[in-house]
Chains A and B, each alone.
Chain A
Amino acid sequence: MSIAANGLRKRFGTYTALDGVDLHVPRGKLVALLGPSGSGKTTLLRIIAGLELPDPGSGRILFDGEDVTDLPTGKRRVGLVFQHYALFRHLSVFENIAFGLRVRRRRDRPPRAEIADRVRKLLSLVQLDGLGGRYPHQLSGGQRQRVALARALAVEPRVLLLDEPFGALDAKVRRELRRWLRRFHDEIHLTTVFVTHDQEEALEIADEVVIMNQARVEQVGSPQQVYDQPATPFVYRFLGSVNVLRSQALSAAGQVIGGSQSDTAGQVYVRPHDIEVIPHDEGTVGLPAILRAVHSAGPFARLTLEQVQDRGELVEAEISRAELAAKQLRVNDLVRLRLRRSRRFEDDYSI
């Protein structure tokens, strides 16, 4: 089922959580809402879930074209998974999963045997066979989150909404569980939205990433798109590391940027791995810099370079260790820098 929202606005007192947000989640996709804390991503998820209402007269939420803005949470048929699992602590795993079926009105409630059967199937779906008799406090974090998922799936939701689902887990379990979620999603194809502040997580498993900042959507696109073609300085900075160079310093150095070049003022954003480092030679074109430090522990060599002009501002470059060896670069060498892929932003377009 697809989800659409347009012009959502939400204020809490004087604080603006959402300021005209549009969203489209295509059917069957896994979409990440990515942003720093306070960017409005959780509020957006809660509005989709119906736990918060958008400000009156702002926008509507559509599920497959049907307006659900005024529908209460319980009638939207959304599966919710929380960062801290929110399992019912006094109920066994079995009863947790069965909860959504047991609270139905008598005429809609499946018979006892059918409930037991469905719970067993869900337990095996989330690979927790035989753990139905345990209580939440007897499970590990990863297991609890899978119980929460099974519980949400028991009522056959139309969409799955996950709020920082891996946030409370330690790094290793987090990586395992998010890969598992991706495979799981490929099996069941349920439209899924998850909130995260972890770039790596969003870029690794999402079909589409919605990057939010300060109550607005900054960019929407596939992980590849948002990483390679950031639309705003914020996205550049938020997804991985970036160098910011003055446009004028670059034009003074000649043909530094691949492609066209303009003399206008502004700032050029370039990722460390998109900087080409060339040993200095008479006639080489490029931004002059001095190699100040090399960190080669890891798969790549990280070079810290000091610009000769422009107040000696530092630049970070990342090259393969083989390239470092081949070019015979040493600390305090004069080098020239060229940019493979970069993007210029006007000065006033600041964040």
Chain B
Amino acid sequence: MAAASSQTLTSRSGTSAPRANRDPAVIRWTLCIIALLFLACFLFLPLAVVFVQAFSRGVGAYFSALATPESKAAIKLTLLTALIVVPANTVFGVAAAWAVAKFRFRGKSILITLIDLPFAVSPVVAGLIYVLLYGRDGWFGNFLISHGMKIIFAQPGIVLATCFVTFPFVARELIPLMQTQGTDEEYAAISLGASGWQTFWRVTLPNVRWGLLYGAILCNARAMGEFGAVSVVSGHIRGVTDTMPLHIEILYNEYNFAAAFAVASLLALLALVTLVLKTALEMTAS
């Protein structure tokens, strides 16, 4: 049986399928061209336009647009937010996935639904939730004001909103992976005398390391690009509570297209780096 299945594999991985299984050349080329045209119109062209527009006033204008104090502050805030949110959601995600995939308990399906909630809720609504909770007239508003703490229209609010929106990425990546891996390896480790902590660090975590990294990368991409939720809680104070996406919008609304696209190109570049990392990761993992 093993021999038979390996034969099928080699014939599949061969460069050409049997003639009878191939469509006529016209159809193949038409389908390819349609797909490529679609990609060009909706993906490559917009991306190219971002960079063309960014450099439309020359390289000097490009870098001076990035070097303004507001732009620098926006870049810093975006990086700071990602730096807090990604590790936090990685820890939350691992904990949630571990609980869901490896244990039996009441209310598990409710927990799974809750994890997905940020994907189901519009980011604007997510932002509003935080305004209602921590805003001046919100539930905890009085308490926060009397203790001199500011969350809404300040950086903590931006971090909280981003955290909420990007919460599912790591957990969603890990849950199916951990579920297919089952619990036998953990039981084996425990029967060999490993503690729960040792089992987690030596067995569970190494088994999901690629999935975890992949989830963290996606989480990072979204954390840097999040607009809706952050827009609601930020208050758009230039140089203080503007993240890169918000800053781009402001510049654009001020008809400062070159500067807007310069910052946008930086964000696009970050996204491209993320994608390259993700692809490299997939290649290493397989």
Contact across chains for B202 and A103 when beta carbons are under 8 A apart: yes
The residue on A at minimum CB distance from B203 is A88
Identify whether the interface residues of B are mostly helix, strand, loop, or mixed.
Answer: helix
Give B197-233 interface residues, CB cut-off 8 Å to A: 198, 202-203, 206-207, 209
**Among the listed A73, A90, A151, A170, which residue makes an inter-chain contact with B207, where contact means beta carbons less than 8 Å apart?**
A90
A99 at interface, CB cutoff 8 A: yes
Contact across chains for A104 and B193 when beta carbons are under 8 A apart: yes
Looking at B53-61, B74-82, B181-189, the stretch in contact with chain A turns out to be B181-189
The answer for the CA separation of A79 and B1 in the assembled complex, in Å, is 32
Contact across chains for A103 and B195 when beta carbons are under 8 A apart: yes
Return B284 CB to nearest CB of chain A, in Å. Answer: 13
Contact partners of B193 in chain A: CB under 8 A: 74-75, 100, 103-104, 155
The answer for the CA separation of A103 and B194 in the assembled complex, in Å, is 6
The answer for the CA separation of A104 and B219 in the assembled complex, in Å, is 37
Contact partners of A82 in chain B: CB under 8 A: 184, 187-188
Report, as a range, how many residues of chain B touch the other chain.
10 to 19
Contact partners of B189 in chain A: CB under 8 A: 88, 99, 103
The residue on B at minimum CB distance from A49 is B191
Contact across chains for B187 and A86 when beta carbons are under 8 A apart: yes
A80 at interface, CB cutoff 8 A: yes
Contact across chains for A155 and B188 when beta carbons are under 8 A apart: no
The answer for the CA separation of A281 and B67 in the assembled complex, in Å, is 114
**Among the listed B187, B198, B206, B209, which residue makes an inter-chain contact with A51, where contact means beta carbons less than 8 Å apart?**
B187
Known: A82-B184, A86-B185, A88-B185. A74 touches B203 (CB 8 A): no
A78 at interface, CB cutoff 8 A: yes
Contact across chains for B191 and A74 when beta carbons are under 8 A apart: yes
Q: Which of B184, B191, B206 has the most CB of A within 10 A?
A: B191
Contact across chains for B184 and A74 when beta carbons are under 8 A apart: no
The answer for the CA separation of A79 and B192 in the assembled complex, in Å, is 7
Contact across chains for A89 and B207 when beta carbons are under 8 A apart: yes
The answer for the CA separation of A90 and B194 in the assembled complex, in Å, is 17
Return A276 CB to nearest CB of chain B, in Å. Answer: 42
A84 at interface, CB cutoff 8 A: yes
Contact across chains for A79 and B191 when beta carbons are under 8 A apart: yes
Contact across chains for B190 and A74 when beta carbons are under 8 A apart: yes
The answer for the CA separation of A99 and B207 in the assembled complex, in Å, is 15
Q: Which of A75, A87, A88, A151 has the most CB of B within 10 A?
A: A88
Contact partners of A103 in chain B: CB under 8 A: 189, 192-195, 198, 202
Contact partners of B209 in chain A: CB under 8 A: 90
Return A38 CB to nearest CB of chain B, in Å. Answer: 18
Contact partners of B192 in chain A: CB under 8 A: 74, 99-100, 103, 151-152, 154-155
Known: A88-B203, A103-B202, A170-B1. A73 touches B190 (CB 8 A): yes
Contact partners of B203 in chain A: CB under 8 A: 88
The answer for the CA separation of A195 and B203 in the assembled complex, in Å, is 25
Contact partners of A152 in chain B: CB under 8 A: 191-192
The answer for the CA separation of A78 and B194 in the assembled complex, in Å, is 13
Contact across chains for B187 and A90 when beta carbons are under 8 A apart: no
**Among the listed A75, A80, A90, which residue makes an inter-chain contact with B188, where contact means beta carbons less than 8 Å apart?**
A80
The answer for the CA separation of A90 and B208 in the assembled complex, in Å, is 10
CB 8 Å contact bits of A227-254 with B (1 = contact, 0 = none): 0000000000000000000000000000
Give B150-188 interface residues, CB cut-off 8 Å to A: 182, 184-185, 187-188
The answer for the CA separation of A344 and B191 in the assembled complex, in Å, is 46
Known: A86-B185, A170-B1. A80 touches B191 (CB 8 A): yes
The answer for the CA separation of A89 and B189 in the assembled complex, in Å, is 12
Contact across chains for A80 and B194 when beta carbons are under 8 A apart: no
**Among the listed B1, B185, B195, B202, which residue makes an inter-chain contact with A74, where contact means beta carbons less than 8 Å apart?**
B195
Return B195 CB to nearest CB of chain A, in Å. Answer: 7
Contact partners of A88 in chain B: CB under 8 A: 185, 188-189, 202-203, 206-207
Contact partners of B190 in chain A: CB under 8 A: 72-74
Contact partners of B191 in chain A: CB under 8 A: 49, 51, 73-74, 78-80, 152
Contact across chains for A73 and B187 when beta carbons are under 8 A apart: yes
The residue on A at minimum CB distance from B192 is A100
CB 8 Å contact bits of A143-164 with B (1 = contact, 0 = none): 0000010011011000000000
Give A74-110 interface residues, CB cut-off 8 Å to B: 74-75, 78-80, 82, 84, 86-90, 99-100, 103-104
Known: A88-B203, A89-B207, A90-B206. A99 touches B184 (CB 8 A): no
Give A146-203 interface residues, CB cut-off 8 Å to B: 148, 151-152, 154-155, 170
The answer for the CA separation of A154 and B188 in the assembled complex, in Å, is 13
Return B183 CB to nearest CB of chain A, in Å. Answer: 9
Contact partners of B202 in chain A: CB under 8 A: 88, 99, 103
Q: Which of B188, B189, B190, B194 has the most CB of A within 10 A?
A: B188
Further pairs besides A73-B187, A99-B202, A151-B192: 18, Cβ < 8 Å? A73-B191, A74-B192, A74-B194, A78-B191, A82-B184, A82-B187, A86-B184, A88-B202, A89-B185, A99-B189, A99-B192, A100-B193, A100-B194, A103-B195, A103-B202, A152-B192, A155-B192, A155-B193
Return the 5 tightest CB-CB contacts between A and B, nearest first. A100-B192, A86-B184, A103-B194, A80-B191, A86-B188
Please name 11 pairs of A and B residues whose Cβ atoms are closer than 8 Å in the assembled complex, sorted by A. A73-B187, A73-B190, A84-B182, A86-B187, A88-B188, A88-B203, A90-B209, A99-B192, A103-B198, A151-B188, A154-B192
